[in-house]
C-alpha cells in the first residue's frame, strides 16, 4: 500500500488520523511506534528520520513522495487529495473556518497538555503522582469541553456541525476517549456525549478505536 501511518494505539492524534482515513475509504498500512517501550521508539534514530519532532503520528504517502506530521495537517491533506469521498472540511469558507476552529480547540488547547511527554515531565520534575497526573489531565479536558459544549449549542445536530461529519468529530471522539480514561466528569457535556454515541455507531469510528489496533495492550 502506498500510504503508511506510523502511530500508537492510544495516541489520540493517531486515532484522529485512523478515523479520517477510514471515513475517506483509504486503505493504509499501520506501523506501530511504541511510545513507552525502551524509552520510546519515537526517540530512536529510525523514527527521528521520519519525524524529527519525535511525536506520532507520521503519514508517509509514497505516491506523492511526502512524509507528513501533525494530525490536522495530515487529515486536511488527505481530504484535499481525495475530494470525491466524504468531505471532512466543508465547502463554504465560513463553515470550514468554524470546523477548523473547533478541531483546534481540541488539537491545540486540550490534547497537547495531557500528552505523554508532559505527564512524564510533571512526574520527573514536580513529583506529580498518578492521581495528580489524572487530575491535571481532567482539568484541561473539562475546561476545554466546557467551551466546546457551549459552541455546540448553536452548531450541533447528529454531529458537531449539523448532520455532516467533519474534522471536528474526528478530533472530538479521540478526546472523549482520553476524557473517560482520566475519569473526567462528562455529566455537564450532554451534546458532546450525544455526538460521541452517534459517531461510535459508525464502523469507520469503531475500526479506529485504540482497542482495535494491532498494538493495543
Q: Which spans of this chain sit near a second copy (rule: CB under 8 A)?
A: 51-55, 64, 66, 68-70, 72-74, 76-77, 80-81, 93-94, 96-98, 100-101, 104-105, 107-109, 111-113, 118, 121-122, 125-126, 128, 136, 139, 144, 146-148, 150-151
- Nearest-approach distance from CB 101 to a second copy, in angstroms: 4
Q: CB-wise, 123 or 200, nearer to a second copy?
A: 123
- Nearest distance in Å: CB 85, a second copy: 15
Nearer to a second copy, 109 or 215 (CB): 109
Q: Shortest Cβ distance from residue 155 to a second copy (Å)? A: 12
Please write down the HEC assignment for all residues of 17-70: HHHHHHHHCCCCEEEECCCCHHHCHHHCHHHHHHCCCCCCCEEEECCCCEEEEC
Q: Shortest Cβ distance from residue 216 to a second copy (Å)?
A: 25
> HSE on the CB side for 25, CA within 13 Å?
6
Nearer to a second copy, 94 or 201 (CB): 94
Q: Which residues contact 202 (CB under 8 A, 6 or more apart)?
A: none
Exposed / middle / buried, residue 58 (Cβ in 10 Å: 0-12, 13-18, 19+)? buried
Q: Which is nearer to a second copy, 126 or 163 (CB)?
A: 126
Nearer to a second copy, 77 or 182 (CB): 77
Residues with Cβ within 8 Å of 103's Cβ and at least 6 positions away in sequence, in order, are: 72, 167, 168, 170, 171
Amino acid at each position: 500500500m502506498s500510504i503508511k501511518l506510523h502511530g500508537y494505539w492510544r495516541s489520540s492524534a493517531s486515532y484522529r488520523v485512523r478515523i479520517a482515513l477510514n471515513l475517506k475509504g483509504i486503505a493504509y498500512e499501520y506501523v506501530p511506534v511504541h511510545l513507552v517501550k525502551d524509552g520510546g521508539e519515537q526517540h530512536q534514530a529510525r523514527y527521528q528520520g521520519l519525524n524529527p519532532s519525535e511525536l506520532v503520528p507520521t503519514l508517509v504517502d509514497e505516491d506523492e513522495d511526502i512524509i507528513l506530521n501533525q494530525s490536522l495537517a495530515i487529515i486536511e491533506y488527505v481530504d484535499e487529495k481525495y475530494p470525491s469521498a466524504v468531505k471532512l472540511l466543508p465547502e463554504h469558507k465560513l463553515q470550514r473556518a468554524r470546523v477548523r476552529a473547533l478541531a483546534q480547540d481540541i488539537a491545540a488547547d486540550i490534547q497537547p497538555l495531557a500528552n505523554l511527554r508532559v505527564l512524564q515531565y510533571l512526574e520527573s520534575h514536580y513529583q506529580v503522582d498518578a492521581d495528580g497526573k489524572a487530575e491535571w489531565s481532567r482539568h484541561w479536558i473539562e475546561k476545554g469541553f466546557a467551551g466546546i459544549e457551549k459552541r455546540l449549542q448553536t452548531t450541533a445536530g447528529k454531529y458537531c456541525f449539523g448532520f455532516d461529519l467533519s474534522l471536528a468529530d474526528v478530533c472530538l471522539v479521540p478526546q472523549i476517549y482520553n476524557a473517560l480514561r482520566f475519569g473526567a466528569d462528562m455529566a455537564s457535556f450532554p451534546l458532546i456525549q450525544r455526538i460521541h454515541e452517534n459517531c461510535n455507531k459508525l464502523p469507520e469510528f469503531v475500526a479506529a478505536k485504540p482497542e482495535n489496533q494491532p498494538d493495543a495492550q
